[in-house]
Structure 1
């Protein structure tokens, strides 16, 4: 969610402006935590069983990398040489999965801050050495969800961004269509591709042969939208529960429609994120000094997730239960929650915090270049990186 208006192995283009962003603080390398649980979308809604977090990662591998043409390979060893993977990965969504589709601008703005420090501040190069202050177009201090799933598929990282790939070409590893600020029905910026436009671009590449039948036959798709459609739900006049429920129904139905389109085009496996507890984002918890989640925002998320389970009925479609994974860390009952929650000392506050509630991480004063944000010393102790996005550890 890029909105603030209530809102190698990583391939880093050699942008001089991104290099010029300076602030020399250096965080310890964040650790990775991949708490992912899955729901079988084919099971009847009333019989959905959420698997324990410890088994979720294993099941993710089994479901995605089963004998149906996709083979699991070990994650690449440290070093520059790439190891072949039998999987091809395609990523659709918003800024939670964007790895470079939004452009760099001069000066840096809220919509291009992912190309400037402190984003990428925990970057690690192909030899395993820290290279702090290396933004890569990701809304994180290092890796994002799609990178972790890519490594499970035997890839080094999420596939290249569509906007940074030569025309009529597709990397053997696949392609990322996810774009910061995008929504399912709408986007925070009119020029940002919504889900249907992302899928349409994919369709054109399939039809003209840029994406080959061989790639489709071993393809895995991630659809990762994290709530931009609900950013201004009060602003657009959805005040009554009936109107809100109807709107949420449109969002989930549109996701299902596009997933079906992807399956018809020949993809073999589709992972669909459900909605995380949006009321726990620092953008919502800032008003109470980062102490509690907004229960009404989280209610909208649960309605979305219930609807999603009902409409995701196609074979080979699996829902990634992000809501439970997040909740077990940031919003669990005292004494409960996952073991991983103990790692995060600051669960509801951001590592990178803007000085103004309407500002953003990475913001500088236009005249003096004074930093209008602060950055924590230990990002691996924070679940959230900025007002919306998780840290590499999160």
Structure 2
């Protein structure tokens, strides 16, 4: 074997070892009785679903201490371990699909689907230079044009579409206030509807789109209340988004005379976990669900940040399993496990 082939083989071995842990079904998952047996999962969206698409030079998900729980090192997930995609794949009984960026190096894994999600992105362009959802679907369509997948093969496929609020964060950053927010929410849901219809038109049998989680309860919002309460104004706007989304999904099912589209109820799932504390049924797992595990020590720093001398500028909790949130936006693996286990989330999945 010549040097070039040897290096390529070693590189492929590294990638396989990096993603090998994704092949196991996550703890607590099960294969439910489907009308069809899903064989592929295609993922679109943002950091709640991304498993390694973002560029290493730009994303915190490739920095320590991300990934310390799973797979044991930074691997592109915005958490200490598994994320939404892993739990949905586990429920379907299939292996977590590889990130789109590794499609050539790990071509043998394409049979399980592809993850097109990029952290920080949205339905529209946001504040990151990564592909928005329309472009992600373009990537998917190109794979179909290249005959990587066939229409017949897509009849046993499921799509996961994650929308975690980056469009709204970008709106606030650009406009400085929430003025005009209701109209913008309408435009986001309208474009999201176009995207869902397009994915279905390309041949995907079932499409699950996430409802917005209570954005006002993310640590970036609860910090001003010493991580003790949520921002009710933000959650009111979230409710508008979710109401419009449910209406849109119902209309899509009527238009297609099907039950192809479902909403994953992240909102109620998150609240179920949070309300354990409010009802004085404090779980030993999450003593304060709004307190993140990993945070920057001062403004301008975040989880994984280091200064010019390589000195870490963040604090890390002693046990990520004791916290619901990993950083100021994303759940821990234990947090996702708790969300996955709620009746609201399980009832949503049963519609697949």
TM-score category by the smaller chain?
A: 0.7 to 0.9
1:121: Cα distance to partner? 0.6
**Structure 2 residue matching 1:393: 3-state secondary structure:** helix
| In structure 2, C-alpha distance between the alignment counterparts of 1:348 and 1:269, rounded to whole Å | 33
2:228 corresponding residue in structure 1: 291
> 1:194: how far off?
0.8
188 and 332 in structure 1: CA distance in 2 versus 1, 3 angstrom threshold:
farther
Q: Hey, what's the Cα distance between the residues in 2 that align with 1:358 and 1:33?
A: 36
Q: Is 1:354–1:374's contact at 8 Å kept on the other side of the alignment?
A: yes
CA drift at 1:353: 1.3
CA distance in 2, matches of 1:381, 1:33: 17
Give the 3-state SS of the residue equivalent to 1:296 in structure 2: helix
Corresponding residue for residue 178 of structure 1: 117
1:94 corresponds to 2:32: no
Deviation, 1:360, is 0.9
- Structure 2 residue runs of 5 or longer lacking an equivalent are 1-12, 19-25, 336-352
Choose between structure 1 and 2: higher helix proportion. 2
Once residues 265 and 186 of structure 1 are traced to their aligned partners in structure 2, the CA distance between those partners, rounded to angstroms, is 23
Aligned residues of 2:172 and 2:178 also touching (Cα < 8 A):
no
Deviation at 1:92, TM superposition (A): 0.4
Partner of 1:25: none
Determine the structure 2 residue equivalent to 1:276.
213
Compared CA separation, residues 297 and 246, structure 1 to 2 (3 A): same
- 2:126–2:170 contact (8 Å) kept in structure 1: no
Q: How many residues align?
A: 308
**Is the partner of 1:102 in helix, strand or coil?**
coil
What secondary structure does 1:139 align onto? coil
Q: 1:393 matched to which residue of 2? A: 334
Q: What is the CA distance between 1:346 and its match in structure 2?
A: 2.4
| Match among 34, 49, 70 for residue 66 of structure 1 | 34
SS in 2 for 1:377: coil
SS in 1 for 2:278: coil
Counterpart contact for 1:12–1:136, Cα < 8 Å: no
1:332 Cα deviation after fit: 6.5
Structure 1 293/33 Cα, relative in aligned 2: closer, same or farther at 3 Å?
A: farther
Cα distance in structure 2, aligned partners of 1:167 and 1:123? 22
Q: CA distance change for structure 1 residues 168 and 14 in 2, over 3 Å: closer, same or farther? A: closer
Q: 1:364 aligns with which of 306, 314, 318?
A: 306
SS at match of 2:334: coil
CA distance in 1, matches of 2:178, 2:102: 42
Higher RCO by CA contacts (8 Å cutoff, separation 6 or greater) = 1
1:102-140 alpha-carbon deviations (Å, 9 max, x no partner): 1112xxxxx32211210011125xxxxxxx3x1111001
Measure the CA separation in 2 of the matches of 1:376 and 1:323: 26
Deviation at 1:208, TM superposition (A): 2.4
- Cα pair 2:16 2:106 within 8 Å, conserved: no
Say if 1:187 and 1:229, in contact at 8 Å, map to a contact too.
yes
TM-score, normalised with respect to structure 2? 0.80
2:265 counterpart residue number? 321
Gaps of 5+ in 1: 1-10, 17-31, 35-56, 71-85, 106-110, 125-131
Kept in 2, the 8 Å contact 1:223–1:271? The answer is: yes
Change (3 A) 1:231 1:240: closer
The alpha-carbon deviation at position 247 of structure 1 amounts to 0.4
Change (3 A) 1:240 1:164: closer
Match of 2:62 among 115, 122, 142: 115
Q: How far did 1:213 drift?
A: 2.8
Task: Please give the TM-score of this superposition, normalised by the length of structure 1.
Answer: 0.72
Q: Deviations over 1:215-270 (max 9, x none)?
A: 301001000110000104334337566x2111001111111111111111110000
Residue 281 of structure 2 corresponds to residue 343 of structure 1: no
Rate the CA distance shift 1:265–1:167 in 2: closer, same or farther, 3 A. farther
The structural deviation recorded for 1:334 is: 2.7
- 1:46 paired residue number: none
Q: Which residue does 1:166 correspond to in 2?
A: 104
Partner of 2:150 in structure 1?
A: 212
Give distance in 2, aligned partners of 1:261 and 1:168.
Answer: 27
CA distance in 1, matches of 2:143, 2:205: 17
**Rounded Cα–Cα distance in structure 2 between residues aligned with 1:272 and 1:324:** 14
